Amino acid sequence: MKIVGIIGRAQHNQDNQEIIQINEYVRRAMTHFDNVITIALLPTNDTFYCDLKDKRDQLSELDQAKLDHILNQCDGFIAPGGSSWFKFDEHITQYAIDHDKPFLGICAGMQCFSGMYSDTEPRMSLIPGGTHDNGGKRYSHTVEIMDNTKLKAILQQDNILTNSSHKYQVNPPLRDDIVISAYSEDGTIEGVELPNKKFIIGTQWHPEYILDENSMKIFQTFVDAL
């Protein structure tokens, strides 16, 4: 049995209070695999996860040691979409890279991986003209998959239809060891990966929302790498 840690995301309950919980769509995607159980990677104190406006986003050495004890039990990680990311996310992402444990970053999870793993400040900007938001549609645009990438090997297609729900994009240039594996029609980076790792892949779209054949290929390959 393999353990997949899913990073918690901020949600609002019926009283409009912000709580941290597991992404239900990602959890459901993982239920398709009998040999996988999921755990929620949730912060245990305010310093682990906070509003960036609070300027309290930090992770002490003790916090990191506690978190590493949990991460060591996991065989792989998924970083779902969200409105932002934190030191908590960055530490888990770097742990996956350092230990070569499968990591799938989705939307903000991809942006975190791309931004933190840059040799300069995170290269992020608003999408020109507004947002890549599909308004709840199953598919909204085409993504071109680059040759000689892990993503191309997984999908075995030159182009796929995807959804879209994000306001920010990652801007090149990225570090030399990050490969851009997919672009949308307007040039937005839609996929990134580390070619020298088993499975360190990010997608700007949300495969967990669609769960079509292409989405399941991504999740299946992630699980196979655990």
Residue with tokens 């990134």: 192
pLDDT of residue 47: 47
pLDDT band at 127 (very low <50, low <70, confident <90, very high): low
Range 6-28 average pLDDT: 76
Percentage of the chain lying above the pLDDT 70 cut? 80
Letter for the amino acid at 140?
S
pLDDT for the residue numbered 175:
78
**Spatial distance between the Cα atoms of 103 and 86, rounded to a whole number of angstroms:** 17
Residue 129 banded pLDDT, cuts 50, 70, 90: low
Q: 110 lies in which domain range? A: 2-224
Q: What is the mean pLDDT of the chain?
A: 85
Helix, strand, or coil (residue 183): strand
CATH number, domain of 125, equals 3.40.50.880
**Do residues 125 and 166 touch, judged by C-beta distance below 8 A?**
no
CA atoms within 13 A on the CB side of 141: 19
Q: Residue 221 CB: number of other CB atoms within 10 A?
A: 19
Interval 52-104: pLDDT, tens: 444 456 777 888 888 999 999 999 999 998 877 888 898 999 999 999 999 99
Percent of all residues in the chain with a pLDDT value above 90, rounded to a whole number: 53
Beta strands in the chain (DSSP E): 2-7, 9-12, 18-21, 36-41, 76-79, 103-106, 124-126, 132-133, 141-145, 159-162, 165-166, 168-170, 179-184, 189-193, 200-203
Tell whether omega for the bond before 173 is within 30 degrees of 0, i.e. cis.
yes
pLDDT at 61: 85
Per-residue pLDDT tens over the stretch 53-65? 444 567 778 888 8
pLDDT in tens, 140-192: 889 999 999 999 999 999 999 998 877 778 888 787 889 999 999 888 899 99
pLDDT at residue 12 greater than cutoff 80: no
Please tell me the distance from the alpha carbon of residue 58 to that of residue 60, in angstroms, as a whole number.
7
Contact predicate 5/42, CB 8 Å: no
The sheet carrying 76-79 orders its strands as 36-41, 2-7, 76-79, 103-106, 200-203, 189-193, 179-184, 141-145, 159-162
**Count: domains in the chain:** 1
| Model confidence, pTM | 0.89
